[in-house]
Structure formats: C-alpha cells, structure tokens
Amino acid sequence: MCPTLWSRLRRPGYVTGCVLLLAVVATAAPLRFDFGTNDSQVWTGFTRATPANVWASDAAFGWRSAAGLSAKVRAYTAPVHDARRGSDQPPPMWTNPITEDAIVGTAENAFLLRAPPGEYQLYVVCGTSDPSMRSQFFDFTVQVGGEQQRVQIDGPYQFRTLRFRAKVGNEPLAVTFSPRSKWAVNAIVAWTGADAKEVETGIITPFEEWTFRLPPVEWAKWQLEAEPPTGPTPTPSAADQKRGFVVYGRHYLECVYPHSRPREEELNPELKLFASPGEHATTAVTVLPLVDIAGAKVAVSALGPVPAKEIDVRHVRFMRARPNYTTLYRYRWVPDVLERFEQLELKAGENGRFWITIRVPDDAPAGNYRGTVTFTCSTGTASIPVQLRILPIRLRDDPEKIFGIYYRHPYDQMGAAPDEVSKEYFRRKADREHADMVAHGTRNVVLSVSARPADATGKFSFNWELLAAKLELGKKHGFVAPVVLGVPTESIYEKHVGERPGSHLRGVKPPPPAFAAEVTAMVRAIEAERVRRGWPEFLYYPIDEPGTDAASISFMVTVLKACKAAGIRTYVTADPTREQFQPLRPHIDVWSTQPFAPEREVVLADSKARGVEYWCYPNHVNGENDHTPVAGARMTYGFGFWRSGFRTLIPWIYQSSTGNPFNYLDGASMDFFNRSEPDGTPVPVAMWEGYRAGYNDYRYVYTLEQLIAEAKRSGKPAAQEAAKAAEQELRNVWNAIRVQPKYKYDDLWSPEEFDVYRWLVARQILAIQSALGR
C-alpha cells in the first residue's frame, strides 16, 4: 500500500471508505450499489450510493461530479386512501428498496467503481417511482466501455434494465450517463463469470419478479384462472416433428391462449383474404413449438401491388390480466399486446401467434394476388401461402356517424413538461396517436378545458391556448365535430360547498344558488370564446356517470339547467332506460350510454321528435372488463352499430395506465387498451384491431346502401334490378344479426361468418357497380 494512502487511513473520516476499498481490491465478489438518499432503504447486500459520493483517488466508488445530481424517493409499501372511492386501494406500484429511490441527473456524469482486473457483466436499473415526475420524459444514453444503450421512459412507475459486458484493467470501471433530457438510475450490479449464477438467481430474478410482477407477499394472494378448455391435439406429422413445431391457422377474431391446441382442419393453412383499396386486411398464423426454439422470425412477401413494407407482422404478447377492471387477486394469461419484434425464443408447448396486417394501397388495381408467409427458427422453416383478392370498390364513410374515443391527451403533460425534449416527446406522442386513430377509423376525442372558479370580480381563468392546440391537432388529422368538452363544475362546487362531490356524486349536497349562476357564467364564457375563435360545436359535459340516488339526480338537474341557460347542448353519461334518470330527460341533448339501449325504434323516434342524440361508450369491448372479446369489438363497431340506430361510438379510453403500463396487476385498477413504445409510438392491442375491422364492415354496408339509392335513381333497368336484389341480400344480413345491448362473447356469429357476411355485401356492391357501368 502506498504511504500516502496509509497516512490517510489513520485520519478520521477515511476509515469506512478505505475498508470498503480494501475489500473491493481483495475480491471480485459482485459489486452492488443501490442509489438513493442517506435515509432510504437499501436492498440486502447492496451498498448505499448517494449524490454525496464523489469519486476520489482513494475511493471505492463515486460520481465523477456532484453537479446536477439529486435523489428522488417515493415508497409505496401499503395501501393508499382513495378519496373519490372512499376506500383504501393498492398503490400505483409496490416499491422495493431499489425502485423506491433513484439518483437523477441533468448533465453527463459517470459512476466509477473500483474492481479487480477481469471480464465483468453489468446490470443497470433505470427509472423512478416519484409521481412528481409525471410530465418528465427521460431520454438518455448509458455507456460502459465502447457499448451504448439508449433509455427512454415516460414518467414514473416504469423501469428499464440494461446489461453490459466490460473488461476492467487498472482503471476504475465507469458507467456513463449522457442525457438528452434527464437520466435516472436505481442500481448497478457488476460481477465476473464465477458469480454469474449467484447474481442471476439471488439478485436479478427476485428483483425482476418483484418489480415487473408484484412483491412476494402480494403475489402470493393472486390466483391464476384456468385457460378455456381446448380439444385434443392432433398427432404432429413426421415433418412437423423433424422441424420441431406445428403451424396452424385460426381466425384472428378467435383468441389463442398460451396452451390452446390446433384443430385438425387448421393445420398447414392457406390464408385467404379480400380487401378494397385503402383498406387494412388482417390474418394470423400460430406456431406451436414441440421443442424449445430460438431465433424465430416471420417474413411476408409482397402481394401483387402490396409491397412487403406495407405488411405489418407483430407478435401477440400474452399478458397477465385481471378478469375485470378493479378485480384483485385473480388473473389470466390472455393474448393482448401486438408487439413489434425481430426474433423470438419460443418455449415448447406454448403458442407463438403472429398477427399480420396488410394495408392495400389506395391505387391498387383489382385482382387476385399470391404470396408467402415464411416462418424460420433454429429448428426449421415453414412456408404458408397467402391469397389476397383486391376488389374494385372505393369504400365510403357515413358522414352522419361518428367514431370517437375518450382520450388522455399528451398535450396536458406537454404543458407541464420541464424541458424541451420532454415537450417534444409529448407533442410527438399525441401526433402519432391521432394518426393511429385515423388509421382505425376514429376521428373524434373527448376533450376538457382547465379553469379555476371565478375570482372576486367574476372573471374566470382558462387555459385557452392548450385547448386551441388540441383542437388544431384534431383539425390537422381531419377530426369531426361536435366535440365533447368536459367542464370543471366540480371545482365550482368545491368553492361553494367546501368539498368535492365524490365519485359518481357520492355524498353530494345541495349547493347554494350562487353555484348554478357561476356554472352558467362559466359555460357562457367558454361558448363566447368558441364562437370568437371559430371552433367546432362543443357538447358540454359537466359530470361523469352520476349516481341514481335522489341527491345525485337533484344535483344533476341543477347543473344541467345551469348549463342549458347558456344556450348550448349538453352531454350526459347515463342510461336513459333507467327510471331514476327520467327527471334529467328534458335537460339532456346527447345521451351517452354503455350498452346499445334503448332499442333502435325508441332511439329513432326520440331523435326525430326532439332532436336528441344517442351515443354509446362500449367499455365492455375496450379492456375495462376483459381484454379478450375481439369478435365482440368487431360486432360492436360494424354490424351491431349499423343495427343499433345510435349515432356515435365513443368508448373509454384510448389508453389507461395506473402504474407500470405493461403490468396489468399493479395499481388499484387494470391498465388497458393501447400501449406505447418507449418513443411514444402506439402499440395496438387485439381489440383495437377489432374496432378497425368493424369500422370497415360498416363502410361496406354504407357503401352498398348508397349504391342502392343511386341505382334506383339511375333509370337503368339493369341497375334497378341489381338494387332490388341487393336490398334483399342486405335485409338477409340485417335479419341475421342477433341484436344485443352489448356484443361481447355470447350469441355472436362465428369468426368466419363475419367475413362471409361482409363478402355478401361486397358481392352486391360489385353487382350494382357493374350494372351502373362503373
């Protein structure tokens, strides 16, 4: 030991650091660092590291600089009280000593650690549990030696784990963090090959099971529900046994679970589709591995005028999901997220399903085209023939119908974002999500305007520019009116009553007359600004899903009267068939209800007599209740919507996340519907694709209805005869629909029947077009 170091060892304050240094130099045992504060927890066997640990020549570890470092701590170790629900609920995530705290940096920095020379593996954990960073987009690079990895994290409750390999010589090992916005790190582990098993089984596996699933105590409470029963497995052919897997084709509307088994008629499939120019066509291929296989890839060739780049292939990711939105302690493995991939490892006996979406170019010529889906892996190859028929049909959109959705707008986070990189991320995320909505037929979202109650002079403070930006983005993507606008009546109630009304108006009290007067004034102010700026019509949405008790109904009458006094139309989420809501009827312009209720005849009669509109928010096919009714989603959005008499579909919600967006078991409620890639690009789920299929079903029906009318007016006998035949066919399809308030699982068409009925409609379109000489 050098004399200088020895002299320092004898000074106060150097003993602890140098004892650790001696231990590090003497052994290559795993080096484990848990980042946080002097008071936060430390994972067993880890060394605490804080912003105060700055590197020095005699240090065992430390930061290159203390500049720009801060520690963030938020521990979730017990249920939290939910004031709106009036009960204790699970926290958004269950933290552990590693995830509860992090060091965050605003400038490039490096964590240095001294280690004996040798070959090392590193494991780096990045993320934060701090909800105050909800509008922070972390975008940074982690570098070890010559290897770099980029990390992108949208807000709290998400964690990325990185692995590196490095060679250590006489210099300390450096883990460098380079921010585009900010960076965050929770833990670093470094080890040599001799300790690999200890680290993997004793550190990494327990940590990841806790972080990406649930802590052991909580996980022990959850029970796995059995998969739906499957039939006997056909005996694999000699060729299948040799290549190590079976390929089968099952309609994409039918769920394939991890251990579903093929039917005899599904083996060695040929995929057959038809579509019109501009349409998306969907099919699926499933691979059942007989042995563990690696390097699984799927490629699809061009299909005539459809280039391979217009064919999207995704892996259907099985997720642990609750059977209902707020259910605790029961879960299933369900097919849900459609993720991009390059190659996969597949386990023996567990299905690998691949979702294929073909976008037909707008100018694609009609014809029959063939191609191939090729599956390759470490054990063999399979080729699946594909046949695509492109029809000479230009599908039309019904201008009287609206396909909308509730939406948590990224612009709200953009406005609160602390740096330009984060602002740009939320702007880009919103733009990509709007484009994704349009690609699925959705062109309307629910918005809200933020405002504080009136001040002493009666003046309101609105964030007009934020609302203007949201409307401008919708205009850019061709969104349609009217716009449902949530208005902050609850904050005015709190001003006059001294408390919030609670979820579904639980415990609401009669407000003083000044409350109604202020609501009217607020709505008039919003309406005046709307007119001044030339914005589309707003439907005023004062309260979400009011309760049915007498106090709630009385309050709703007060609120709706106050809104109507401003000369606008109102929007209410309530079931018009429930007797308790009848006092609201004179004050509601748009009923938004979960099921298709009331029946079509009542809807049409009321709409004709009073100009009332009926909208549906079909949450039963949005993942709130279940992640699997893809066929119900298609029925709801297509033939069921056509049959209902309703004007609009507007489910809740495009994306809902409570904690980690890829862990559906954490938090008080289940995450659902579309997910996001790290850069904000939308990741669809299977039901979202069901929406698009239903939307296209409706377009085929509407196109035929318009052609029938044109043929009748044409004066051409052949066209009029074709119209008569088409009307009869369309009536047969109409009569085949088994009408239900909610289309989910039961009493639906078989998956193949959906395509048959669409083809019956398409065939009549072709016949009329021919008769009209088009």
Over residues 186-192, the mean pLDDT reads: 98
The predicted pLDDT at position 80 comes to 85
Taking the CA of residue 137 as centre, how many other CA atoms within 13 Å lie in the half-sphere pointing to its CB? Answer: 24
The pLDDT tens digits for 271-312 are 999 999 999 999 999 999 999 999 999 999 999 999 999 999
Please give the average per-residue pLDDT across 177-202, as a whole number: 97
pLDDT in tens, 670-700: 999 999 999 999 999 999 999 999 999 999 9
Percent of the chain with pLDDT over 90: 94
Please name the residue ranges forming H helices in 580-648.
600-610, 630-637, 639-644
Distances (CA, A) of 142 to 117, 124, 149, 183: 22, 9, 5, 9
Answer whether 310's CB lies under 8 Å from 256's CB: no
Indicate if the pLDDT at residue 459 is higher than 90: yes
Q: What is the separation, in whole angstroms, between the first and last Cα of the chain?
A: 93
pLDDT for residue 503: 86
The answer to whether residue 773 scores a pLDDT higher than 50 is yes
What 8-state DSSP symbol labels residue 445? B
Q: For residue range 393-438, what is the model confidence (pLDDT) as tens digits?
A: 999 999 999 999 999 999 999 999 999 999 999 999 999 999 999 9
Q: Give residues with Cβ within 8 angstroms of 493, minimum separation 6.
A: 500, 501, 508, 511, 515
pLDDT in tens, 532-579: 999 999 999 999 999 999 999 999 999 999 999 999 999 999 999 999
Give the span between the Cα atoms of 596 and 649, in whole angstroms: 10
Question: What single DSSP character describes residue 405?
Answer: B
- In this predicted structure, what is the pLDDT of residue 774? 85
Alpha-carbon distance of 372 to 383, in angstroms, equals: 6
Whether 142 has a pLDDT exceeding 60, the answer reads: yes
Query: Which residue, 174, 189, 177, 205, is CA-closest to 68?
Result: 177
The tens digit of pLDDT for each residue in 226-280 reads 999 988 889 999 999 999 999 999 999 999 999 999 999 999 999 999 999 999 9
Which helix (DSSP H) or strand (DSSP E) does residue 416 occupy? helix 410-416
Secondary structure in 3-state letters for 161-217: EEEEEEEECCCCEEEEEEECCCEEECEEEEECHHHHHHHHHHHHHHHHHHHHCCCHH
Write the burial class of residue 13 (CB in 10 Å: 0-12 exposed, 13-18 middle, 19+ buried): exposed
Could you give all domains of the chain from N- to C-terminal order, each with its CATH number?
3-221 (2.60.120.430), 238-390 (2.60.40.10), 402-685 (3.20.20)
The Cα 486–Cα 475 span in angstroms is 19
For 707, the enclosing helix (H) or strand (E) is helix 686-714
Question: For residues 465 and 308, what is the distance between their CA atoms, to the nearest angstrom?
Answer: 42
CA–CA gap between residue 719 and residue 504 (Å, rounded): 55
Q: Is the pLDDT of residue 10 over 50?
A: no
Q: Quick one: CA torsion of 285, 290, 291, 293, rounded to 10 degrees?
A: -10
Q: What is the pLDDT of residues 514-533, one digit of tens each?
A: 999 999 999 999 999 999 99
| Cβ atoms of residues 287 and 375 within 8 Å | yes
> How far is the C-alpha of 60 from the C-alpha of 628, rounded, in Å?
53
**Residue 116: band (very low, low, confident or very high) from pLDDT cuts 50, 70, 90:** very high
> At residue 768, does pLDDT exceed 50?
yes
Tell me, rounded to whole angstroms, the distance of Cα 726 from its chain centroid: 40
Tell me the pairing of strands 447-448 and 380-390.
unpaired
Q: Are 151 and 103 within 8 A, CB to CB?
A: no
3-state secondary structure of 488: coil
Q: 310: which DSSP letter?
A: G
Instruction: Compute the distance between CA of residue 747 and CA of residue 736 in angstroms, rounded to an integer.
Output: 11
- Single-letter residue type at 151: V
Average pLDDT, the chain: 94
The pTM for the full model equals 0.95
Q: Indicate the pLDDT class of residue 28, thresholds 50, 70 and 90.
A: low
The tokens for 283 are 């099919």
